[in-house]
């Protein structure tokens, strides 16, 4: 077994793990009860799934053709930066629009913070 074969195996393993994480993310989006937990499933595991898949593709291209794909590297960086931020902003907008929390939610820690801020601003 040479180094190229091992690198191809690792690349295939990364792509397979990325696909499994995408499946877990999809199940989480379907199964979770409200927008807040669904957003968590969509951003955390989907980001990891895309990163693993792109990293596996990058490793495969490097080992088989010797080609370093700047597009794949930029894709990894772009997804790593934008996906969590987008998920946070969507969740924040839903909270400020007063979207109901799930019935199983025990505590809303953000309510006290926002109520205090509104009280200080005189709203």
pLDDT in tens, the chain (123 residues): 787 889 999 999 999 999 999 999 999 999 998 888 898 888 988 899 999 999 999 999 999 888 898 999 999 999 989 998 999 999 889 888 888 888 887 777 777 777 776 667 765
- Backbone torsion region of residue 62, taken as left when φ is above 0, otherwise alpha when ψ lies between -120 and 50, otherwise beta: alpha
The DSSP string of 97-120 is TTPPPPTT----HHHHHHHHHHHH
Six-digit token pair at 114? 């926002």
The whole domain housing 31 covers 3-121
What is the total count of domains within the chain? 1
Measured CA to CA in angstroms, residue 116 lies from 11, 23, 93, 98 at distances of: 50, 40, 19, 17
């Amino acid at each position: 077994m040479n180094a190229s074969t091992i690198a191809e195996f690792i690349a295939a393993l990364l792509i397979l793990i990325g696909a499994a994480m995408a499946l877990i993310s999809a199940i989480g989006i379907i199964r979770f009860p409200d927008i807040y937990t669904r957003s968590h499933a969509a951003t955390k595991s989907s980001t990891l799934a895309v990163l693993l898949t792109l990293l596996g593709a990058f490793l495969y291209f490097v080992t088989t053709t010797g080609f370093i794909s700047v597009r794949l590297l930029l894709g990894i960086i772009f997804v790593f930066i934008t996906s969590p931020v987008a998920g946070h902003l969507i969740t924040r907008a839903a909270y400020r629009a007063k979207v109901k929390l799930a019935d199983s939610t025990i505590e809303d820690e953000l309510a006290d913070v926002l109520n205090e801020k509104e009280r200080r601003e005189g709203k």
